[in-house]
Structure 1
Amino acid sequence: MTAKYQHILVVDDDKTFIYLNYKLISKITGCNKILLKMSGITALQYLEECDLSNDFPELISIDWNMPLGNGNDFIQEYTKRFHPKHPQTKVLVISGATSEKQMSKVLQLDFVIGFLPKPVNEKTLANAIL
């Protein structure tokens, strides 16, 4: 049986959270290729490389509140540049705080599978990505 995810990208500016999220996602999915980026800007640069090499992640977990390329900026760029070419990729937003208006707007996008509050636990994360 092939794992649901072969390539996952985790984006967060908090080193502790990104490590914990990596461990949880690895445990839940069994995926061996989980890449970590610390900003929306570096994540978009990485996705450009993935697009060129035809090795695009099936799942992207992104923090909403980051100083260098926040979740909203990332989603806007992702929608224009990558979603048309990679419609199978799913995005999960994880955030410590955001408005209901922002959350409901983002959840209307067909590729966004959830908007989870921090800290996220294993069961909640598993329900969102499996």
Structure 2
Amino acid sequence: MKKVKGMYVIDDDKIYHFLLKNLFKQNNIEADPKFYGNGLDAIESLKKIPVTDPFPELILLDVNMPIMDGWQFLEEYVKLSRDMGKTSTIFMISSSNDEHDLSKARQYSNVVRDYLLKPICKEDLEKIFLAVGVGEGMI
């Protein structure tokens, strides 16, 4: 079993949270994600990380959320990451296949590793965890 060192899931869909936990369990992935229902709560949490500690290794980010959506989160994340000298691997995971969203994600290619459509599957998990260096042959 492989373990991810810190993971944020920023998505307002509680059913998705439940399904994601089950997908991890079914694929023998040890992850203890912190769930946030909007980008603002996640940004506030990142700001509280001590300067000596790293950001979470992985962030799974939805596009459409209340209070602060995925795009607003990314704008704040870029500033915070630069100021603190810390980074995470970010995957946008959304049910939106709107070309505007896909194009906008490409504008963040220096921050966003990939844009995946919900529901994610075993192959998507392999791609995500390979990106953070814990997936080689794990699934």
Shorter-chain-normalised TM-score: which range?
0.7 to 0.9
Instruction: Tell me the residue number matched to 1:91.
Output: 90
How far apart are 1:4 and its partner, in Å?
A: 6.5
- Number of aligned residue pairs: 128
Instruction: Tell me the residue number matched to 1:123.
Output: 123
Instruction: Tell me the residue number matched to 2:136.
Output: none
How far apart are 1:129 and its partner, in Å?
A: 3.1
User: Which shifted more, 37-46 or 75-84?
Assistant: 75-84
Q: Percent identity?
A: 29
- Could you list the runs of 5+ residues in structure 2 that have no partner in the other structure? 131-139
Match of 2:48, SS state, is helix
Give the Cα–Cα distance (whole angstroms) in 1 for the partners of residues 100 and 4 of structure 2: 30
Summarize the Cα distance change of 1:36–1:57 in structure 2 as closer, same or farther, 3 Å threshold: same
Native 8 Å contact 2:54 2:86 kept in 1:
no
Work out which of the two has the higher radius of gyration on C-alpha atoms and give 1 or 2.
Answer: 2
Instruction: Tell me the residue number matched to 2:111.
Output: 111
Native 8 Å contact 2:24 2:31 kept in 1:
no
Aligned pairs for 1:64-103 (under 5 A) are 64-83=63-82, 85-87=85-87, 89-103=88-102
Give the Cα–Cα distance (whole angstroms) in 2 for the partners of residues 26 and 81 of structure 1: 32
Instruction: Tell me the residue number matched to 1:44.
Output: 43
TM-score w.r.t. structure 1 length? 0.81
Match of 1:125, SS state, is helix
| Superposition RMSD in Å | 2.5
- Could you list the runs of 5+ residues in structure 1 that have no partner in the other structure? none
How far apart are 1:55 and its partner, in Å?
A: 4.2
How far apart are 1:81 and its partner, in Å?
A: 1.2
